[in-house]
Amino acid sequence: MTLSAPALLAGLQYSEMRRHELRKSRIVMIDGSLTQNSRSSEAGTSARVYRDGYWGFASVPGQDAGAAERVSRQAGANAGAMGRFGVRSSVSMPEGGYRGEHVYQGRSVLSPGEIQERLAELNAWCRQRYPSLKSIRVIVGDEYHSKRLATSTGGQSLASIQRAACQVVFVAEGANGAPVELAEQVSGKGSLADIDWSVQALAPQLDELHQHLRAKCEAVPARGGRQTVVLAPALAGMLAHEAMGHPCEADIVLGGAVTGSLLGQRVASELVSMVDFAHHYQGQEVMIPVYADDEGMPARDAVLIRDGILTEFMNSRETAARLGHSPTGSARAYAPADEPLIRMRNTAILPGRSTLDELIAGVEDGYLLMKTGNGQADSTTEFMFGITLGYEIRHGKLGRAIRDTTVSGSAIKVLQSVDAVSNDMYWSCSGYCGKKQPMVVSMGGPALRAQAHMGGE
């Protein structure tokens, strides 16, 4: 079934219509007991129009022909209502509309019963193999997005994004009697049938997780202050996304982000390059492939940093026109009732030439930071991440595990201090990006050696 964008009548300069379906599932097992088994589904039709510098947006739950007519009419009325705020400079929207269909073809989905059987098997195996654990949590989930889009610039597209994740959380008793926990996860494209979260596949990772947990039970506090740190690949991906990715979103740039005056300038070591990939990396489709964004613009890679120089931003149609840049196809909406915003897709720092062992060997006194539980940053590139697993480095060798702490600083200053980049590449698509609405994203990176501020006692 095809859609038609609202007609360019009565002064409309651009319009789009989207039919969007979103399905999600989340199942949680704690110590063998099923504590959550939720499934949700929503679908709707939305329209957005641009007139005299203002956007008008409307959405309804239905997907029938009447729904399309209602949202078209309401979106036009909303654009007119926005005009009451005064005259605003208008821009000519870039031409171009993607035509094509990209639908993920995965395995047949697992039934709720099959998922529960796998959860029970995984829990039983962990309980038998690691009897000293105080608690075991297994969380699995997947989600499916399908979007059919039509634009007044000739776009007609159908896109689907599916992703799934499995997280295992071990809880032990620390030396002081307090609970200590650590998590491991796998994620990828498709449903829970498409990622391998079998006991056989997870066993090596879970053995390593258990070893780290035992070390963490005897952990020592980190020393606060500026330290030499080796950020493991998972943290480099978080740094790329949170600390430098958001300030390179053009709407945030127009809102006053520090990056707005730094195009063409050095913001990182010459060893650092960073890209927001649209749909492929080294010939392979990425975890969150976007061939056309939710404005129908063909998606392309946005090379944010090349050899340490800030080179471009992620743009929508409007921000590209206002900045005089070319669109990157970065406008996306999470749910059927959401309006497209500039969002990251698959953001990564590119690998270097060193090995992780070489990065560690080059540290006389510092820390290896391996896992993070959360992260936040602002438009100045200041960031703070929680560290849930880390180790001392003394004379180029790993030492004791450290207690949960934080790492913080200015992403620009941290990236400028990078003196080594590993040849690893780690990707994850298990989390959400928050920016007025959630968004499915992936992030990746190698290990980095840099200077950053550590939290301490």
Residue 454 pairs in a beta bridge with 225, 407
Given the structure tokens 């005897």, which residue do they identify? 218
Closest by Cα among 387, 443, 448 to 417: 448
Backbone angles phi, psi at 209, to 5 degrees: -60, -45
Residue 428 pairs in a beta bridge with 443
Res 342 pLDDT > 50? yes
**d(C-alpha 18, C-alpha 165), whole Å:** 27
**d(C-alpha 418, C-alpha 263), whole Å:** 20
Closest by Cα among 112, 114, 164, 131 to 31: 131
The CA-based angle 397-399-405, given to 5 degrees, is 120
* pLDDT of amino acid 183: 97
CB-CB contact of 111 with 41 (8 Å): no
**d(C-alpha 396, C-alpha 393), whole Å:** 6
pLDDT tens readout for residues 374-404: 778 888 899 999 999 999 999 999 999 999 9
Q: How far is CA 440 from the centre of its chain?
A: 6
If one counts every other C-beta atom within 10 angstroms of the C-beta of residue 63, the result is 17
Closest by Cα among 131, 117, 285, 129 to 197: 117
Quick one: pLDDT band at residue 83, thresholds 50, 70, 90? Answer: confident
- DSSP tally for the chain: helices H, then strands E: 8, 26
* pLDDT of amino acid 131: 97
**Residues ≥6 apart with Cβ < 8 Å to 17:** 3, 4, 5, 6, 45, 46, 47, 68, 71, 72, 149, 150
If one counts every other C-beta atom within 10 angstroms of the C-beta of residue 445, the result is 30
Q: Which residues of 171-181 are buried (b: 16+ CB within 10 A; e: fewer)?
A: bbeeeeeeebb
Quick one: pLDDT band at residue 175, thresholds 50, 70, 90? Answer: confident
DSSP summary character for residue 111: P
Distances (CA, A) of 58 to 110, 314, 436: 35, 25, 17
Query: Which helix H or strand E contains 60, and what residues bound it?
Result: strand 54-60
CB-CB contact of 192 with 110 (8 Å): yes
**Residues ≥6 apart with Cβ < 8 Å to 307:** 270, 272, 273
* pLDDT of amino acid 8: 43
Strand, helix or coil at 382?
strand
Distances (CA, A) of 117 to 26, 109, 187, 198: 15, 14, 19, 11
Higher pLDDT, 28 or 372: 28
Backbone angles phi, psi at 109, to 5 degrees: -65, 150
Q: How far is CA 186 from the centre of its chain?
A: 14
Segments of 190-320 assigned E as strands: 225-231, 274-277, 280-281, 284-285, 302-306, 309-310
State the CATH class of domain 14-216.
alpha beta
Given the structure tokens 């963490």, which residue do they identify? 216
**d(C-alpha 392, C-alpha 150), whole Å:** 54
If one counts every other C-beta atom within 10 angstroms of the C-beta of residue 335, the result is 17
Res 190 pLDDT > 50? yes
Cα four-point dihedral sign 276, 281, 286, 289: positive
Domain ranges for the chain: 14-216, 225-454
Q: If you average pLDDT over every residue of the chain, what do you get?
A: 94
* pLDDT of amino acid 380: 87
CB-CB contact of 130 with 170 (8 Å): yes
CB-CB contact of 160 with 25 (8 Å): no
Please give the torsion angle defined by the CA atoms of residues 72, 74, 80 and 85, in that order, rounded to the nearest 10 degrees. Answer: -130
Res 91 pLDDT > 80? yes
Stated length of the chain? 457
DSSP summary character for residue 196: -
Q: Helical H runs in 174-277?
A: 199-216, 233-238, 250-254
* pLDDT of amino acid 452: 96
Quick one: pLDDT band at residue 11, thresholds 50, 70, 90? Answer: low
